[in-house]
Structure 1
Amino acid sequence: MVTFVNLLVRSDDLDHEAFLERWQGDHIELAKRLPGLERYATSVPTSPEYASYDGIVQLQFPDHETLSDAFDSEIGQEVQEDAATFIDMDESETLIVDETVHLNDADTESDDDR
């Protein structure tokens, strides 16, 4: 599993709320169509006025080739063009990471099972 992590900074012309409306509305619906995408998660800071980023997106793919192919696809190009309309791409950070799960609560016994 490979994860594309993007630490998002909004465009200067948007306040945080307008950014969230744009990002978590039409853009998510577009990005969910990326070929090979297996998991899509977003996180929003609880105190955005104190945060360096306006949000975090995590897109998971089965491998690096599938991730690369997704962003090279026609829909991948659309996603990137759309993102550039509300995200400051120069200020945002991107990481491609391999995930290691150290605890998955769903895999552990609940107190009721003991």
Structure 2
Amino acid sequence: MYKHVALLVRKEGMSHGEFVDYWQINHTEIAREIEGVVKYATVLPVNPEAAEFDGIAELYFDDLDALHDALGSEGSRDYDPAKGKAKEAREDVDNFLAIEERPRFIGEVVTQKDEVGGETDGLYKHSAFLVRKEGMSHDEFVDHWQKNHTPIAREIEGVVKYDTILPTDPENAEFDGIAELYFDDLNALHDALGSEGSRDYDPAKGKAKEAREDVDNFLAIEERPRFIGEETVQKDEIRN
């Protein structure tokens, strides 16, 4: 499964509330019908004032070529789809997004843990946009992340689903990967991973503590955006 993740920043002059209204009421109706999309989820920040972005839009495709046709490839912010809902969606983003301030990522989803059968609607999610430690190659980063860190992270207390997303084009990707940890309970998420803005949170025990200690072995913490939000599944042809 391939996924396009857009970290959304509202257009200058718009309030967060105005942005959310437009995104959810106007744009989502278009985006869920983009050709090739099999799942579409939006993630709203639980604490907008402290969040690094106004929201996250996630579109899933079975086929990477279909994703590229609809949404462009890594680095192509000004892609211009020729037809259909993809064209309509691209034209609409100028109404509510600051395009040049919106990081985006295309990758392949690897599900590391799933206790919810893929049902993520209404769950709280911590998304970490990973940047490797200075001096590490992308391959070295991936090797440590997948072999050393992931076995710890999947056992963090409260985690009900854990996905890692690897870039399909590492040389042009804005991040080295994305880690997504889902929780039923927001307090459990905060206990394990901190709240918005708390990059140097220090969990006291368990796998959360072990995971926090390990990130220093392979991540550039200060260069890693993170986002805590509640996910709404707008379309899901995978499960339905």
Q: Report Cα offsets for 1:3-57 as digits up to 9, x if no partner.
A: 0000000001110000000001111001111111000000011111111100001
Please say which of residues 66-75 and 51-60 is displaced more in the overlay.
66-75
Q: Does 1:68 align with 2:200?
A: no
Partner residue in 2 for 1:19: 141
- Residue identity over aligned pairs, in percent, reads 32
1:96 corresponds to which of 228, 231, 234: 228
Partner residue in 2 for 1:38: 160
1:78 corresponds to which of 204, 210, 216: 210
TM-score by length of 2: 0.43
Q: Distance in 2 between matches of 1:88 and 1:55?
A: 12
Of Structure 1 and Structure 2, the greater strand share is in 2
Return the structure number with greater relative CO, CA threshold 8 A, min gap 6: 1
Q: Distance in 1 between matches of 2:157 and 2:174?
A: 30
Aligned residues: 108
Of Structure 1 and Structure 2, the greater helix share is in 1
Q: Distance in 2 between matches of 1:54 and 1:107?
A: 29
Partner residue in 1 for 2:170: 48
Shift of 1:73: 4.7
List runs of 5+ in structure 1 lacking aligned partners.
Answer: 109-114
Q: Report Cα offsets for 1:56-82 as digits up to 9, x if no partner.
A: 010000021111223435121210110
Q: Distance in 2 between matches of 1:51 and 1:14?
A: 16
- Runs (4+) of structure 1 exceeding 3 A deviation are none
Partner residue in 2 for 1:5: 127
* Aligned partner letter, 2:212: Q
SS in 2 for 1:47: coil
